[in-house]
Structure 1
Amino acid sequence: MNNPSRQKTLLYVAILSNSLFLAHHSNAQSGESARQEIENVLVVGTRQAYRGEFTSLEIPQSELSIDAKTLRDAGALDLNQALDLSSSVARQNNFGGLWNSFALRGFVGDENLPSNYLVNGFNAGRGFGGARDLSGIESVEVLKGPRAALFGRGEPGGTINLVTKRPTFETKGELRLSAGSHSTYRSDIDWTSPLSDNFAVRIVGFYEDAESFRDTIDTQKQGLSPSFIYRFGEQSQLVYELEYSHQEIPFDRGVIAIDGQLGLIPENRFLGEPGDGPMETDVLGHQLEFQHDFNGNWSTLVGFNYRDTSLEGFATENGFSAPDANGNFGRFRRYRDYDATYQVLRAELTGSFTTGELEHRIIIGVDADEFENDQFFLRIRNRQSNQEINVFNPVYGAYALPQPLPNTDRVETQESLGVYIQDQISLNDNLDIRLGIRFDDYDQELHNRRSNRTSNYSETQLSPQFGVVYKATDSLSLYAAYGENFRPLSGATDDNHLEPNQSKSTEVGINFTLNEGLLEGTLAIFDVEQSNISTVDADFNATAIGEAGSQGVELDLHGNVTDSLSLWLSYAYIDAETENAFNDPNFGTEVPAGSDLLNIPEQQLSLRLVQRTELAGKPLSLISGLLYVDERNGFFSRQDFKLPSYTTVQIAANYELSNAIELRAEINNLLDEEYYTNSFADVWVQPGTPRTVRVSAAFRF
């Protein structure tokens, strides 16, 4: 897209990043002592943008890092399974299985787009690349509370950040082969090696072919993530990562409730048309980061990201009307051709210095990004063409699939330039305060190709944060934090003046360690207020008047209880509801104040135990896991429709035959619980997977 203002913005960022580099490089070399400091610096790893260097007891916010070992013990292969380990995260409508959608601390983002998440600090959830696979992911970070003061626009309840597997200067590799229920077969490869003293590569990839407990549903997924790191001596390094994936997944809206009752049709009943074929999604992304350490105190990070995603295919979907007395159920057919590109350039300087008795740890940065959302959408409803199916005795292919009619043809572009600064000031050895603010200047352009009309919307935004943390002992700190967040609303124009979604959060808590530091935990109490939620007025025009609140308590505890027993516990109590009456834009009904937000359980618990022992002198890990999800509102416009609570149990075992071979067996949903993970309405309800078994073998080399 040729956009002069965009090109100027990127140029300004590039100039500023070089200015930061040159200015500090000049200062660092102003004396012989500075030169001696630099000579002793060795780059030993990559640094995360927007984060700084803080221990868990120094952070005045709640954060949860799910590391590679925990993900492996849990058998998590995709992002949904990883986020089940955090009880602060609740599953939302997943767009027929085509994307990740989740709520954090009770709040979800734009229901018409995937939930946004970050990869190494870069926005990556925006777009249509399918549900995120964890191949190539080292850890998953759940960063709770508003983060706009650093990251910029984002989800109101917090931020999910994925940390990728990057090359190391140690040669190692692993091939993992697995097979499971419903003819599920998967292979994963991970290999890294230095090619010289300064250059290392890593290749991570996967392939999966699977049927499903859902009738007629077959999926194929594949992905590849090659990367390299190059060190320019002892102080600088360049990291490049490529992301490619292709998925073929039939669109599946799930099951329906009949007269408000679930379970009257079996959980495997597919109500679409197999003849539509799968939806196809593709991702091609690039990340490039340059890091330079001036000395032991100051570092700069300059990065560029470009990600292209697409989604295309036909789908016959559950309609919104209830089936008749004989079970005949209306549907509609849609065709989607969605494309999205996202690119960002950023530069950041981090360091520490003292003023008098005060120590400062500071982050200063600037970034510019562009998100282009191109949607072509066709639709035909049941009343325009007979598309009924009998929910009790479905017959697929009973009629010729109708050709959908024009509905949406538009492209929306969002551009933003942001500048941010954060300073954590140590007033003494025990007391820190954190001050931060970010300025964003963003523009939205919406071009409707059907009407050949273009509209625009511009806004500036300040996002402050404040935190205080008191280190009471070497194993306990108390903190309080306040922050504000914003998220531009898709479809904002000069006509409807859809002001950005706003949220304010207050949080108090304690970070602590137990068992001589082997157990880490956080207990937090939070209150989040959200305003300018997108809705419709009495004339069904878009507006942003919705308000909602979320309050709750969270407890995260993980680590080693004994030398051989490890614990993972995450519990959340969340009370999330509307604060004013407004119209539901999807069904045109009024939602009263005090209504429960969609798919938000009041209580959720994730508990895992891993016992390490030996069998025939070889290491053996015995794993048990439990996930409890409370009753949830399943239909925003009908508060009496609830998804029942459920508990699933997992058992697994990892056995190391040798340093080179590891075997694993797992049973998921051991008690074969019938449950429902999320819904959008009583006719779009996603059933959970019944009992499954999976075995795998890993070969290390």
Structure 2
Amino acid sequence: MNRIYASVAPAAMALSLPVSLSLYLFPATARAQQSPAPVASAASIEVVGRRSSDSYLAATASGAKSDLPLRELPQAARVMSRQALDDLGAVRMDDALDYVGGISRQNNFGGMWDNVAIRGFAGDINGGMALLKNGFAGNRGFQAPRDTANIERLEFLKGPAAALYGASEPGGTINVVSKSPLWRAAGAAELYAGSHGAYRATLDTTGPLADGLAYRLNLAHERRGSFRDHVDTRRTLAAPAFTWRPAPGTRLDYRGEFLRHEAPLDRGVVAVANSLGAVPRGRFLGEPADGDILVENLAHQFSLEHELAPGWHARAGLAYLGGAMRGYSTEAQPALQPDGRTLWRQRRYRDYQSDDISLQAELGGSLQTGAVTHQLLAGVEASRLDFDQRMLRANPSAARPYAIDVLAPELGQLYGHPRPEPAPNADTADRQRTGALYLQDTVVLGHAWRVVAGVRADRYRQDLRNNRTGADTAQRPHAVSPRVGVSYLPGAEWTLYASTGRSFRPNTGADAAASPFDPEKAQAAEIGAKWQNAGGTLGATLALFDIRKRNALTADPGHPGFSIAAGRLRSQGMDFDLAGQLGRAWRVNASLSYIDARVASDNTLEAGSPLLNVPRLNGSLMLLREARLAGGGRVGVGGAVTYSASRLGEGRTRAQAASGAPAFELPSYALARLVAYWQLSHSLRVSLDIDNLFDRHYYSSSFQRTWVTPGAARAATLGLQARF
């Protein structure tokens, strides 16, 4: 079932997101003569285990598909390096998301997935955020929260990416880059213990296996309690990687991953009388007897690259991404009963399975025509996603309310009724097919000008079968997505740029007449300035943007329970990022965003209403200072603060606005984090991380007044890291 776009749906349905990414870099013959030498990228630092004294500033982003340095690229892009992840003590991708400009947290499906909005746009309401993994689709089907054990860096590519990746959001895309095998033997083992009964162990080992063959293996296992009652998590990750060089100029890469995630589905707390705080942040309103939801993900990625001639490469890629989710949950109805404390609940059983296959082929190279250099890229892609969803559901009623008193709960006490057994509610088979052709030209015009222009043509096919009713729905949309950006380099440290592009994303499902929806379409424009110091150790980007989207799904007032593609949205604002080193001893990461994201027009929601979970203002600052000890060791001490302004917590309808009912908002909050480490020797290190240092009560996101995610309480983690 489709829901209005101002909320994230509780059932995760597939998003067709055909993507491709060249992992090679074009030769930079002309650029090397015209640009200052960039700092080494995070990917080139061959370190195993937690890092010290590496930069937060990256030179390039593989997701941009261009060898232009980030300072010269006509696009805002922020790379969260492995050093930054280590300094934050980030064990999940979610731990790093507050430290990038333009990012705002969204409903996380009861802790079962990662979800953010970029520049105000949160992605498919049933599929979540736009995400790539090594350039392949990384978020189709159902994917558990990402573990950082095998992540080398996170690339936040802001602005429309449809000219390269097809169906996507106009606000931006995140590319997760995995760790690669190294050509020397190395290893690291890490142990962590923390508050609320948290334990974690990881292993990272790499090296050559034979002449031209190297491996890497990342393992992680975690058992974590919670400040939330009855909410414990177990996770296991195994991620092998191989690189084979059978001949000069030829390289075959394999990246694999298996992730098992087990936890109760936790919809959070409820607002009482439109206010938060009456229900303690640790109170669980589900039923512990339901047990855990199990999510299992399996990924295989192959990339074959061959040098055809000096300056020209061909690449072919194959990826498989499988996902499965099953288990029982008890979930709140949208509102409390009239007494203001009784909550009716549903009981659900989910059984989801997805299989996603992508094929890519690319040809790229460099051409010199006088003083002009062209870096050319041409690619084709095909993908197939099969997504089967089966849900059983027991709805409450006056005779069987399956209720709980949120102010004085008695879990397991079902008001004289046995726990309801869910009955068939949804059973669908979704088959999505895509085919695409894309072209890009990166032009270097003398010392001062850079132009990036590209276009992609997509054909999309979806066949949706309702196994309960026998109804079939089919759609065959297609789209052409252009993009162009221009950079001007007035000096060795500054860049001014402007860009514009279009994006699209198919709307899955059907309306009341069983007809497919028109796809979402968006137009975005951006201007900005970039600065990097002469030493290449500190850089900043300031961007101003304007994004307009149409055909967003909204409730159909003539057919309750159904949707129509009639919503229009807009987002305007700025985001700022700064990262790098301040002198030899300090590392800094800072971000600031002002986003005015609103409903422009809608059949149900109030025009001018803010978009869900998007604060107008948020920001962050992280500083870490290192010092060498007399005996050769090293210590580092630092901290971080994040701030989020108040934001809408539930979609506001025109009827609510007309009645004068107050909007439901999540309050603003500011958090502090303390990080410290002691490098006893080259091979041994101790770390201490304290999150939410002052134990602030806050709420990170919401779907509705009865599904509000409370922020984590103060937690300390002590770690021991050893290299071998």
Q: TM-score, normalized by length of structure 1?
A: 0.91
Quote the offset at 1:286 in angstroms.
0.4
Aligned length: 653
Matched-pair identity in %: 36
| Preserved contact between residue 578 and residue 596 of structure 1 (Cα < 8 Å) | yes
1:312 to 326, 334, 338: 326
Q: Distance in 2 between matches of 1:490 and 1:239?
A: 33
Does the alignment pair 1:579 with 2:600?
yes
The offset of 1:515, in angstroms, is 5.7
SS at match of 1:96: helix
Give the CA deviation at 1:319.
Answer: 1.5
Q: Does 1:555 align with 2:562?
A: no
- Partner residue in 2 for 1:388: 403
Cα shift at 1:51: 0.9
Say if 2:529 is the partner of 1:510.
yes
TM-superposed CA distance for 1:385, in Å, is 2.6
* Matching residue of 1:105: 119
Mapped partners of 2:356, 2:650: distance in 1: 32
The 1:182/1:49 distance shift into structure 2, 3 A limit, reads closer
3-state secondary structure, aligned to 1:473: coil
Contact 1:432 1:470 in 2 (8 A): yes
Measured against aligned partners, the alpha-carbon deviations of 1:423-480 in whole angstroms (never above 9, x if no partner) come to 1222322112221110001101101100112221001110000111111111111110
Q: Secondary structure at the match of 2:86?
A: helix
> Equivalents in 2 of 1:455, 1:322: separation in Å?
36
Residue equivalent to 1:249: 263
Is the Cα–Cα contact under 8 Å of residues 122 and 128 in structure 2 kept in the other structure?
Answer: no
Q: 2:566, 2:602 within 8 Å by CA — same for their partners in 1?
A: no
User: Is 1:95 matched with 2:114?
Assistant: no
Closer, same or farther: CA 123–55 of 1 in aligned 2, 3 Å = same
| Displacement after TM superposition at 1:405 (Å) | 1.6
**2:455 aligned to which of 437, 454, 460:** 437
Q: Return the offset for 1:411.
A: 1.3
Q: Give the superposition deviation at 1:614.
A: 3.0
Q: Secondary structure at the match of 2:95?
A: helix
Among 222, 228, 238, the alignment partner of 1:224 is 238
Where do residues 112-151 of structure 1 align in structure 2 (5 Å cutoff)?
A: 112-151=126-165
SS class of match (1:385): coil
Q: 1:434 to 1:129 in 2, by over 3 A?
A: closer
In the other structure, the counterpart of 2:701 is: 678
Amino acid paired to 1:505: A
Distance in 1, matches of 2:470 and 2:333, equals: 30
Q: Contact (CA 8 Å) 1:50, 1:151: kept in 2 or not?
A: no
1:657-677 per-residue CA deviation (whole Å, 9 max, x = no partner) reads 111101001111011110000
> Which residue pairs with 2:358 in the alignment?
344
Give the residue type in structure 1 aligned to 2:705. Answer: D
| 2:174 alignment partner in structure 1 | 160
Q: Which of 633, 642, 651 is matched with 1:627 structurally?
A: 642
SS of the equivalent of 1:84 reads helix
The question of whether the paired residues in 2 share the 8 Å contact of 1:523 and 1:556 is answered with yes
Residue 341 of structure 2: aligned partner: 327
**Within 5 A, what are the aligned runs for 1:602-681?**
602-615=616-629, 617=631, 618-637=633-652, 640-681=663-704
The alpha carbon displacement at 1:606 in A equals 1.3
Q: Post-superposition shift, 1:378?
A: 1.1
Q: For structure 1, which segment, 45-54 or 256-265, has the greater mean C-alpha deviation from structure 2 after superposition? A: 45-54
Is the 1:258–1:323 Cα contact (8 Å) retained in structure 2? no
Q: Which has the higher contact order (CA 8 A, sep 6+)?
A: 2
TM-score (norm 2): 0.88
Structure-1 residue corresponding to 2:563: 542
Aligned to 1:401: 419
Shift of 1:304: 0.3
Q: CA deviation at 1:54?
A: 1.4
Q: How many Å apart are 1:156 and its aligned residue?
A: 2.6
Map of 1:499 onto structure 2: 518
Once residues 192 and 144 of structure 1 are traced to their aligned partners in structure 2, the CA distance between those partners, rounded to angstroms, is 33
Question: Matches of 1:398 and 1:326 in 2, distance apart?
Answer: 19
Q: Secondary structure at the match of 1:155?
A: coil
Q: What is the deviation of 1:157? A: 1.0
1:79-94 equivalences in 2 (<5 Å): 79-94=93-108
Are the equivalent residues in 2 in contact too, given 1:569–1:606 (CA < 8 A)?
Answer: yes
Displaced runs of 4 or more, over 6 A: 44-47
Structure 1 CA distance, aligned partners of 2:368 and 2:101?
A: 39
The residue type equivalent to 2:203 in the other structure is: I
- Identify if the C-alpha distance between structure 1 residues 629 and 504 changes in structure 2 by more than 3 Å, giving closer, same or farther: same
Q: Deviations over 1:208-255 (max 9, x none)?
A: 001110011111000100111100222111011111011111011000
SS in 2 for 1:531: strand
- Across the aligned residues of Structure 1 and Structure 2, the Cα RMSD in angstroms comes to 1.8
Aligned amino acid, residue 253 of structure 1: R
**CA 1:47–1:570 in 2, change beyond 3 Å: closer, same or farther?**
closer
SS in 2 for 1:167: coil
Please tell me whether the aligned partners of residues 496 and 528 of structure 2 are also in contact (alpha carbons under 8 angstroms): yes
Distance 1:567 1:356 in 2: 41
Q: Secondary structure at the match of 2:304?
A: strand
CA contact 2:431–2:464 (8 Å) conserved in 1: yes
Instruction: Determine if the alignment matches structure 1 residue 60 to structure 2 residue 74.
Output: yes
Structure 1 residues 354-394: Cα deviation after superposition (integer angstroms, max 9, x where no partner): 23442111111000011222110111112163311111221
In the alignment, the residues of structure 2 paired with residue 147 and residue 287 of structure 1 have an alpha-carbon distance, to the nearest angstrom, of 21
Q: Which residue of 1 aligns with 2:473?
A: 455
Checking the alignment, whether the CA contact within 8 Å between 1:202 and 1:226 is kept in structure 2 is: yes
> Quick check: 1:457–1:492 contact (8 Å CA) kept in 2?
no
Q: Contact 1:52–1:350 at 8 Å: present in 2 too?
A: no
Q: Is the 8 A contact 1:57 1:471 kept in 2?
A: no
Q: Counterpart amino acid of 2:516?
A: H
Alpha-carbon offset, residue 329 of structure 1: 1.6
Deviation per CA, 1:121-158: give whole Å up to 9, x if none.
Answer: 00111222311111211000100000000011112311
Equivalent residue, structure 2, for 1:178: 192
Bigger shift: residues 334-343 or 271-280: 334-343
Unpaired segments ≥5 residues, structure 2: 1-18, 23-43, 47-59, 657-661
Higher mean C-alpha displacement, 418-427 vs 655-664: 418-427
Q: Conserved in 1, the CA contact under 8 Å of 2:335 and 2:705?
A: no
- Secondary structure (helix, strand or coil) at the match of 2:572 reads strand
Q: Quote the residue 2:486 is aligned against.
A: 468
What is the CA–CA distance in structure 2 between the aligned matches of 1:48 and 1:531, rounded to whole Å? Answer: 30
Aligned partners of 2:131 and 2:173 also within 8 Å:
yes
Question: What is the deviation of 1:48?
Answer: 4.4
1:616: Cα distance to partner?
Answer: 5.1
Any conservation in 1 of the 2:66–2:442 contact (CA below 8 Å)?
no
545, 548, 552: which is aligned to 1:533?
552
8 A Cα contact 2:508 2:516, kept in partner: no
Give 1:695's aligned residue.
718
